[in-house]
Amino acid sequence: MIVKNARFVTSCATARAADGYSPQVCVAGRSNCGKSTLLNMLMGAKLCKTSQTPGRTRLINIFEVSTDTRKFFLTDLPGYGFSKAHKSETDAFAERTDVFFRTSKDIAQVLCLMDVRRDPSDLDKVLINYLRDLELPFTVVLTKADKLSRAQVGNATVKIAAALGLAKGNLIVTSGLNGSGKDALLNRLDEVLAVFGEQDT
């Protein structure tokens, strides 16, 4: 699958406002895990603002992506685990995401982003188990692979997969800096979007 064009569509303050954009590939992960960088890599354009300050994404941001095979929407969800946010704001982010996952009928896949240099946090594990409980399809995407050697990436991938109860082959390793893993991730999305389309027919 080759991305031909991408554009920002809207920012949504509520889960209901994000309804109707179908199919959606949601991008979730803890703050500062590299979501914006990965989204820019996938879309081939700097449509997401990157920041060294975690917790900048506070709305549900939707982007339209046109490829050589199909059109879909990338949904950038607020990062979790940002301890410096005011508690009421943090709770609002969590509630907004929870309602979105529980009510949306447009989700074809959830990309769960994790920094390859770090062990999965309790919140990472909660997210994976939460998606399992809701029977939402997901793919774990490891980011920032350029920060480690190839051997270190291999060892870290095995360790993270074991911590999440997944096979190593179920994780896709990426780097927004050098573009590694982009083709593998786009091929994965092409497969899941095709299946989602068949379910709608």
Structure tokens at 137: 């399809």
Query: Model's pTM, two decimal places?
Result: 0.87
**Average of per-residue pLDDT across 45-72:** 77
Residue showing tokens 């081939």: 44
Is residue 183 predicted with pLDDT exceeding 90? yes
- Alpha carbon distance 26, 96 (integer Å): 14
Nearest-angstrom CA–CA distance, 116 and 156? 6
Give Dmax (Cα) for the chain. Answer: 45
Give the mean pLDDT of 70-76.
Answer: 95
Give the rounded distance of the alpha carbon of 141 from its chain centre. Answer: 7
Alpha-carbon Rg for the chain, nearest whole angstrom, is 16
* Structure tokens, 155: 């060892």
Average pLDDT over residues 90-98: 63
Q: What does 150-173 look like in DSSP terms, one character per residue?
A: HHHHHHHHHHHHHHHT--GGGEEE
Could you tell me how far CA 105 lies from the centroid of its own chain? 17
Do 195 and 188 touch, CB atoms closer than 8 A? Answer: no
Q: Quote the pLDDT of residue 41.
A: 93
What does pLDDT average to over the chain? 86
**Pairwise CA distance, residues 83 & 32, whole Å:** 12
- Helix axis angle for 122-134 and 150-164, nearest 10°, is 60
Mean pLDDT, range 89-111, rounded to an integer: 78
The CA-based angle 182-117-151, given to 5 degrees, is 75
CB under 8 Å to 96, separation ≥6 — which residues? 13, 14, 15, 60, 78
Q: What is the pLDDT of residues 137-164, one digit of tens each?
A: 999 999 999 999 999 999 999 999 999 9
Q: Label residue 50 by pLDDT band (50, 70, 90).
A: low
pLDDT score at 168: 87
CA distances from 64 to 74, 133, 146, 152 (A): 6, 28, 28, 35
